[in-house]
Structure 1
Amino acid sequence: MFLRTLSVLTVCLLAPWVNASESDHPLLSRYPDAQIKDRLYTAYEQTELPSGPADDEGNLPYDTLVGDLTRITYEIEGVSTLKVFENYEKALSDAGAKIVSVCELSECRDKDSGLLELASGIAGDGYVGNYYFKPYFLRASLSGAKGKVHIGLFVGGFNGDVRLQQVVVEEVPSQNTLISVAKDYLTSAPESSPSGDQRTAEETLQDHPMMARYPGARLYRSRAVEYENMSLPLSVLNAEGVAPDNLDLTGDISQHTYQIDNVSTLKVYQNYLQAVKKLEFSLEYSCERAECGGEYASRDLGQRLALTGDVENYFRDPYYFVASREVAQGRIVVAVYVGGFEGGVWVQQAVIEEKGTEKDLITVDADQLYQELQQSGKALVYGIYFDTDSATVKEGSADALEAISDLMKSHSELNLYVVGHTDDTGESDYNLSLSSRRAVSVVDVLKAQYSIESGRLKPAGVGPYAPVAGNEWTEGRRLNRRVELVRRF
């Protein structure tokens, strides 16, 4: 005999989904006076849901489900587990749900024979604690206009109170076209924003020009650095955090860390894969969830790609891939690591534009610099490096600086302007200031480290206002980021 009717609990197949932190799932109302203890919503998650109690060896049977996931833990005071369970069972039965599996009390086994695993399988990362006494478990399914819905319930008691662990998985079609890409970036700058791109102007500037962020993603960290080394794992990391196989690259590197709420790592990963597929990239390596290794291996894998070497807690349910494509200017490689924690996702994204001919741009011959000054009054110098938004000269600039030093020492009559140039990425006024500060840094290093007399060099910056190539393409922007020596009389 059931103790309550549908006036207490209702099942509604047509209610719209409201993603609010303190709301019930629209399919099921809560038991009267129940309070939400914990709640998690994740779009398009892969879930291992218990389909019944453990067998004689303590092994739980599971169904692997993919869909929009909602987990809610309710706390109910002064009521029995039996009363709560019978109300939910009746409400589902009256709504036409198919009862897949039920266990009551000892049928659900004891604490040491799979009972806690059964409760945790419904609660997920939720805390079951001592609420496993007088247990009841139910698995059910419903079919409606939106598709199939799977329901799991675990009711457990402790000290006269009840906690209800409730999970609802709604099967939904995959959405893997959410990330906009600019295919024209591979040959020239895109003429307009990619179709379906709904980013703000600020977000567009923050992202890599080839690949838009996942809808609703927030940028946490980013950096861009010219002509740097990066090693990408192409295998599971071992106990020492080392990958037996790696892809070693040298080129311009852009890294982004994004945060996304209420979505699964699976959905984000599938959209990134579809994005690189649109760009006709070839997959070099990928791993999904357990294929990425155990907890420590998956964490270390993410940290290899992360800007600060730390993914914090976001290494659960990991996905990772490396993809590449050859273009006219060289090879472009994209690496993405997706990790989750408590319904949130962090994306570690790296784009490496390989530059095999970077050293060819560096004029290290003082005689050649002098000939250019004699012929045109100026000489272009590449190979003086700075981090993005930084005016500090990097150590890898020694060859170019030595060439300038040799030039000055070989031709004591020369006085020069040292002129900094930038590409046209970002605000022009900022670039003008940055180019001036970089020119000052170059002069300071030549004075301090190469003993060039202070009166012979005068710094100046012109920002993006004197390009030598178009800013519409990567190679053009790289040529525009330079130092020029201009003869001063």
Structure 2
Amino acid sequence: MQLHHCRLFVLLLLITGPVLAQSDIEGSSDHPLLTRYPESIITWYETEKYFEYNLATGPITGYRYIAERDTVAGQVYRIFYDLPSTKEEVSIGEVYIDYKRAMEQAGMTILAEGLVPDGGGNKIGSPQWIGIALASQQPPGGSPASKLFAGTATSGGTFTLIGRLSQPEGTTYVVIYGERHSKDLIGYLVDIIEVASAETGRVSLDPDYLAGELESKGTVSIYGIEFDFDSATLRESSYPVLEQIAAYLTQHPDKNLYVVGHTDMPGTLEYNRTLSHDRAAAVVQALENDHGIATGRLLPDGVAFLSPKSTNATEDGRALNRRVELVLRPN
């Protein structure tokens, strides 16, 4: 998504000081929409052409459960910053207030916010809340960003800020999680999602992408497998996507998968469960018959509309819900 220059908001933080970028990891940069807190250094950076981001905006409502969630999808940028500082030099509250003020001045709608100075409880922005909110999209273990889940001084405080910027050119979400990791270090993760349609997923779909998603998450949603209306007949437009799945399976002969069909809401549960299963079975049959994938490596199933990615109240939401998922099976 290209942001039109005349509507581009560059968020300038209010505390002045030099920005030290010379120690940033290679290939990283601030997002054009959002600068860093002064003295911060990028220690982890990742961008993906199409990513389904699970956005939690409400309080904890059950055991490790947040009910108010939605899926926003598109180009994602994930940037983790280290801010070397003692409590006397910079407090976690100062970082939180500066980012909140900058987001508001840029015209963003704040969807969720929380500053927990003592790092306790389960309020929005607390360590427990952040862990649940990020459970399905934690940064890789061992990466500098994983320290967000292993603070040694959570009593130094944590925070969360989630904002949405709506423009004629498109919608962008900004999500920030921060904590005082130790007496000498603040760490904060900035996730920026530039919303785009599900079809963008075809760009990222290749064997390496599939391998990365399945290795890190155990599942991957596939968009671009299309069927005739109300049918399990595959359209020709699906063939390039099936070729990429077959390439992954050929390159990873030790991997076996469930192929799971998902539908949107219209129709009865029984009808959609049958349709979703039949569509998954059609995918398995095509991979076996047309691409030589051994029988038994793929098992089809269908769950109808019981596991939505988004709301069924809008066409964009229904498009996200109509999908095929690949799920790793234990060997």
- TM-score band w.r.t. shorter chain: 0.5 to 0.7
Structure 2 distance, partners of 1:171, 1:88, is 21
| Residue of structure 2 equivalent to 1:42 | 48
| Residue of structure 2 equivalent to 1:166 | 190
| Residue of structure 1 equivalent to 2:73 | 66
CA contact (8 A) 2:54 2:69 kept: yes
The equivalences for 1:15-414 within 5 A come to 21-55=27-61, 57-60=63-66, 61-78=68-85, 79-105=90-116, 109=121, 113-118=128-133, 123-125=138-140, 126-127=145-146, 128-131=148-151, 132-133=154-155, 134-160=157-183, 161-175=185-199, 217=206, 258-260=207-209, 269-273=222-226, 277-279=234-236, 305-311=249-255, 321=280, 323=282, 333-335=285-287, 351-352=291-292
Unaligned runs of 5+ in 1: 10-19, 179-213, 218-257, 287-300, 325-331, 337-348, 354-489
Does residue 5 of the first structure (1) align with residue 14 of the second (2)? yes
Structure 1 distance, partners of 2:211, 2:247, is 22
1:74–1:145 CA distance, 2 compared to 1 (3 A) = same
1:167–1:8 CA distance, 2 compared to 1 (3 A) = farther
| Residue of structure 2 equivalent to 1:222 | none
Structure 2 distance, partners of 1:113, 1:267, is 26
Specify the SS of the correspondent of 1:26: coil
Write out per-residue CA displacement over residues 239-295 of structure 1, whole angstroms, 9 at most, x where no aligned residue: xxxxxxxxxxxxxxxxxxx3249998999832344799442889xxx9xxxxxxxxx
Specify the SS of the correspondent of 1:334: helix
Specify the SS of the correspondent of 1:151: strand
Structure 2 distance, partners of 1:118, 1:176, is 25
Question: How far has the Cα of 1:67 moved from its partner?
Answer: 1.9
Question: How far has the Cα of 1:323 moved from its partner?
Answer: 3.3
1:154–1:45 CA distance, 2 compared to 1 (3 A) = same
**TM-score normalised to structure 2 length:** 0.53
Question: How far has the Cα of 1:130 moved from its partner?
Answer: 2.8
What amino acid sits opposite 2:77 in the alignment? T
Structure 2 distance, partners of 1:91, 1:316, is 45
**TM-score normalised to structure 1 length:** 0.38
CA RMSD of aligned residues (A): 4.9
Structure 2 distance, partners of 1:68, 1:87, is 25
Structure 1 distance, partners of 2:226, 2:172, is 27
Question: How far has the Cα of 1:129 moved from its partner?
Answer: 3.6
Question: How far has the Cα of 1:51 moved from its partner?
Answer: 0.7
Aligned length: 228
The runs of at least 4 consecutive aligned structure 1 residues that moved more than 6 Å come to: 261-268, 301-304, 315-320
The equivalences for 1:409-488 within 5 A come to none
What amino acid sits opposite 2:223 in the alignment? Q
Q: Which has the larger radius of gyration?
A: 1
Structure 2 distance, partners of 1:215, 1:59, is 30
Write out per-residue CA displacement over residues 196-241 of structure 1, whole angstroms, 9 at most, x where no aligned residue: xxxxxxxxxxxxxxxxxx6895xxxxxxxxxxxxxxxxxxxxxxxx
1:34–1:158 CA distance, 2 compared to 1 (3 A) = same
Structure 1 distance, partners of 2:137, 2:235, is 38
Question: How far has the Cα of 1:136 moved from its partner?
Answer: 1.1
Unaligned runs of 5+ in 2: 1-12, 19-25, 262-278, 294-331
What amino acid sits opposite 2:181 in the alignment? F
Specify the SS of the correspondent of 1:96: coil
Identity of aligned residues (%): 16
Structure 2 distance, partners of 1:37, 1:316, is 36
Write out per-residue CA displacement over residues 457-481 of structure 1, whole angstroms, 9 at most, x where no aligned residue: xxxxxxxxxxxxxxxxxxxxxxxxx
